[in-house]
Amino acid sequence: MTENRRYINYIDDTVVSTLEEWAMRDSVKAAADYVTDSVDEDGIENALRHFGLIG
């Protein structure tokens, strides 16, 4: 029983950490002047274009 309880606490801590990270991520994005796309959607290239670093 103690082993199961430790596992549940670990899951709870992981879920809480993940939710906190998502909330922080959203607040940082809301404060940003520019948010690019994901890497899968050419976000680095799009950001470089946005800031005029590539043509």
Task: Kindly list the domain boundaries of the chain, sorted by start residue.
Answer: 2-50
- Residue 46: per-residue pLDDT: 94
Closest Cα to residue 25, out of 40, 38, 44? 38
Q: pLDDT tens, 12-50?
A: 666 666 666 777 777 878 888 998 888 889 999 999 999
Residue 51 or residue 23, greater confidence: 51
- Residue 7: per-residue pLDDT: 54
- Residue 31: per-residue pLDDT: 86
Cα dist from 52 to 10, 23, 38, 47, 55, whole Å? 45, 30, 19, 9, 7
- Residue 38: per-residue pLDDT: 86
